[in-house]
Amino acid sequence: MGNKFENILGTVGNTPIVKIGKLAPAGINLYVKIEAFNPMGSVKDRLALGIIEEAEKSGALKPGQTVIEATSGNTGIGLAMVCAQKGYPLVVTMAASFSVERRKLMRFLGAKVVLTPATAKGTGMVAKAKELADANGWFLTRQFENEANPDMHSRTTAREIINDFEGEKLDYWVTGYGTGGTLKGVARVLAAEKPETKVVVCEPEDAALLSSGTAQERNSDQTPASSHPSFKPHPMQGWTPDFIPKLTGDAVDTDVIDRILTISGAEAIRCSQDLAKSEGIFVGISAGATFAGALKMCEDAPAGSTILCMLPDTGERYLSTPLFADVPTEMTEDEEKISLSTPGFHNEAV
């Protein structure tokens, strides 16, 4: 791949796979695929481009038509980039519980952001997007059920993984799920071309919709699962909306998932912090959660196993969240001591 592009959209995908050194247990080859290298910092850039280009090709999206989607932020940010470059107005609906950085980023890129009540969770923002699309004749991207989402991952993410592990074994592929697009799109390619690779899916301990059996109870209209005893609020933004997305359900139905792991919010935050401080890899809470799942797999995997873990987004999406709660803005006591520990130092211009 060259480094000269017609526009920003050519830079989506082809994200690096990086080996983990200090945090990986001895005898395990642990790798991460860092989706923060996408132009807007998350894996959702892929689905945004895939859905818009498929809609253009099919004629479902007309020139100048307004695009609308419900999003926890990353899909909206990706769509804002794509729509800005291609010239489509964009409206996103987003639950008020998601971090303020996300709405500012979307607005900076020219999108309009309609907030829905935090109490209505993911179901509320999806319903509002559909209501606005129907009322105004806007193009609803339907990220949770649109087949262009997993198709994009089959064409890009999966192919990158297959190519990067060509001639090598890959024992486990670890991912979370939001829409289920990455899960469905990659898992079906691995099943066909690298069937020895076991697919491991992570979900929040406080919203364990797959491992609790809620996935089997779903129906086609995305009935909220938030009343289910297994669903509580959690810090992994973009992971596990309060319903089972159709694309995730498809992956469950096709039996491509080998193991489901539940991850606590505290584990996710700790692993994100550990990746930053020990490996220099800066990612968000959902990436920390996926990495926590990969470390759990390391405990059970036979010696010599190779594990690849998806890291879906950058840590900059989380400045106002608990991930940064203990990071001070003023100098700490240790920093004050450093500042005062330079006798004889003259502050001269260099």
Query: Would you name the residues annotated as active-site residues?
Result: 44, 286
Place of tokens 């990220």: 143
With CA atoms as reference, report the closest residue to 237 among 87, 112, 15, 76: 76
Integer Cα distance of 118 and 128 in angstroms? 13
Record the tokens describing residue 85, joined without a space: 């470059």
Pairing of strands 29-34, 17-19: antiparallel
Q: Is there a contact between 143 and 47 (Cβ–Cβ < 8 Å)? A: yes
Dihedral through CA 179, CA 287, CA 49, CA 15, nearest 10? -140
For 267, other C-beta atoms within 10 Å of its C-beta total 18
Phi first, then psi, for residue 233 (nearest 5°) are: -60, 150
Q: Is there a contact between 251 and 257 (Cβ–Cβ < 8 Å)? A: yes
Integer Cα distance of 91 and 70 in angstroms? 9
Q: Is there a contact between 205 and 263 (Cβ–Cβ < 8 Å)? A: yes
* DSSP symbol at 349: -
DSSP E strand stretches across the chain: 17-19, 29-34, 67-70, 90-95, 112-116, 139-140, 172-175, 198-204, 259-263, 306-311
Integer Cα distance of 38 and 347 in angstroms? 41
Contacts of 155 (CB under 8 A, 6+ apart): 50
Integer Cα distance of 301 and 99 in angstroms? 36
Integer Cα distance of 195 and 189 in angstroms? 9
